[in-house]
Structure 1
Amino acid sequence: MTTAPPAALTKDDVTIATRAADNFTRLYYSVYDSTTRTTDLPNFYRPSSSLTWNGKPLQGADGLRQLIEKMPPTKHEMQSFDCHPIPGTSPPSLLVTVSGTVIHGKPHLSTKPSKSIEGQPRVFSQTFMLVPDTEASTTKPGEVAKYYDSLVISTNVSVFPWNVNINAVTPCTRNAFYYIASSA
């Protein structure tokens, strides 16, 4: 049995995927750092999504909600991301790797060294497998696909500082890819 190779991706596919990944990551981390993250962040996941947080498996939106409820406030600064569209679906699934720094808890304002890791910047790396929602309506002009984070391969933290500019989310967010899970 032979299978046909997936259709080659075009330059436009890569450009649109990169723009979608940029918009997704900006929105994801602005929600993650918000005071409403416990209710809003799980909307990025399907109930069947699998997550791994520092080697611990979690299941779907409810698993993430339970984890987030136990965590201190965060402040992420995304320093880079890499996006690879995966051929085989139209639109393609996206493999997105993000790195940057995160502060858990309130930042230390004192210039004196602290032994506590809370409030200290740490390096993080997070990988998303964004899968298009094939049942999503695309009736709105410019709406191409709704994406869910199907799998977070890993989230690791170590040491550095950063800042999210929520206003930096471009107006094309909704037009590039409609990628957030609806709450319904």
Structure 2
Amino acid sequence: AREEVKAVTDQKTFYSQAKSIKSNFRGFKWEVKRERDLWKAIGTRKSKDVNEVILLTYAIDEHSNAYISYHVTGQGLKEKNMTHFQNVFQTNYEKIFLSEPIIFSCATGEINDKMESVLSVEIQDLLRAFNAKPVESLVEESFTSVSAYTGLWKEALQTKKQEMNLQIALRKTRMGGQTTIVVGTPIITSEY
């Protein structure tokens, strides 16, 4: 989840906001650093089932935008530990955000492929599963990416052609090996 932080307008207000967030999330390990024209306050916490990152960024440029984001990841999540995962997310979500931030969701997985046409077959299966219509696509020998639109979600981004709110990417790692699948909504932000 991510939202703009309008209260951060310079380095002083960035440090003030970072200090406030750090005091509200003492169970996180914090680091503040600068990478060229980008200031970052990064808080991380790892547990058995869930990894969390709170990130406050301030870009020193003509726009001087600041954002706060909250990333929650887990592997092999089963139905029995989804309640714990949801509780962790909801509790921190309500403490971090002031309004309704943009929420990005992403699922990553792998399949063993024995078929040569696995990329196009899997893409079509996923599009049907999400009741989505393709908007744009990129097809290469070992990589396929499709931007699509589904009516399952309210949020969408405008492309040159039309709205999209789902991205699906498949990458075949080697002959007879694994195929990595990434599904993101509204977009895949950093996984590929």
Larger Rg: 2
TM-score strictly above 0.5: no
Task: Compute the TM-score of the two structures, normalised by the length of structure 1.
Answer: 0.23
Higher RCO, Cα 8 Å, sep 6+: 1
Task: Compute the TM-score of the two structures, normalised by the length of structure 2.
Answer: 0.23
